[in-house]
A and B are shown apart, each in its own frame.
Chain A
Amino acid sequence: DAKTTQPPSMDCAEGRAANLPCNHSTISGNEYVYWYRQIHSQGPQYIIHGLKNNETNEMASLIITEDRKSSTLILPHATLRDTAVYYCIVRVYSGNQFYFGTGTSLTVIP
């Protein structure tokens, strides 16, 4: 599976959009982009995934560039409860494993 690169930390003001970037320049055609988050002292939580089209659900939006070498997770109106570590993962759909990396620690500031 391809590796991902994320900034180690970010801040976001409460109520504003949080945009979390992820680089995956070695992604191959059959690899999906997944996002998870982990709130302190809890297990990771699935957020969203996509292949090449932009995706949106009740939690977030995922924007994947046309060349698929990078993506952005958007939390449209960040709340204090969104403070967490966010992991960007690329994975073959039929693959067995997730490589979580170290993620981005997002702090939402009141």
Chain B
Amino acid sequence: DVKVTQSSRYLVKRTGEKVFLECVQDMDHENMFWYRQDPGLGLRLIYFSYDVKMKEKGDIPEGYSVSREKKERFSLILESASTNQTSMYLCASSLLRQDGEQFFGPGTRLTVL
């Protein structure tokens, strides 16, 4: 069965801390994505990656960076967390660049105090 896992379901951090959100997929997918989900705003794309060491900005990359050192792992980094980054973070992967069927992880609910 297809699986995307995220390192934590719930995370609480303080303003200014560096935060790492990890995502791992076991499907050998080329493409991986990070979204954040906020009430009334739907899902918004932060960054995506088509290949190892490749990354592209989504709609809201400010305040975030990403790392893809291995095909199965895509990390989202908040260099200095702020309260407006409190959100649900969702990771997804897809097999082909053209593939609209994305598989999502369960999400990480991050609270920044």
Contact = CB atoms under 8 A, between A and B. Distances in A.
Contacts of B74: none
Given A32-B100, A94-B98, A96-B56, A101 B106 contact: no
Contacts of A68: none
Contacts of A45: 104
A42 B107 contact: yes
Contacts of B45: 97-98
A96 B33 CA distance: 10
Nearest to A96: B48
Interface residues of B, number: 24
Interface string A43-74: 11110010000000000000000000000000
Contacts, number: 53
A15 B92 CA distance: 32
Given A97-B58, A97-B59, A46 B102 contact: yes
Interface in B47-104: 48, 56, 58-59, 90, 92, 97-98, 100-104
Nearest to A89: B100
Contacts of B105: 43
A26 interface: no
B92 A43 contact: yes
A28 interface: no
27 contacts: A32-B100, A41-B106, A42-B106, A42-B107, A43-B105, A44-B43, A44-B90, A44-B102, A46-B100, A46-B101, A46-B102, A49-B101, A91-B100, A93-B100, A94-B98, A96-B97, A97-B45, A97-B48, A97-B59, A98-B45, A98-B102, A100-B35, A100-B42, A101-B42, A102-B40, A102-B41, A102-B42
- Closest A-B pairs by Cβ, 4 of them: A43-B104, A100-B43, A100-B42, A94-B98
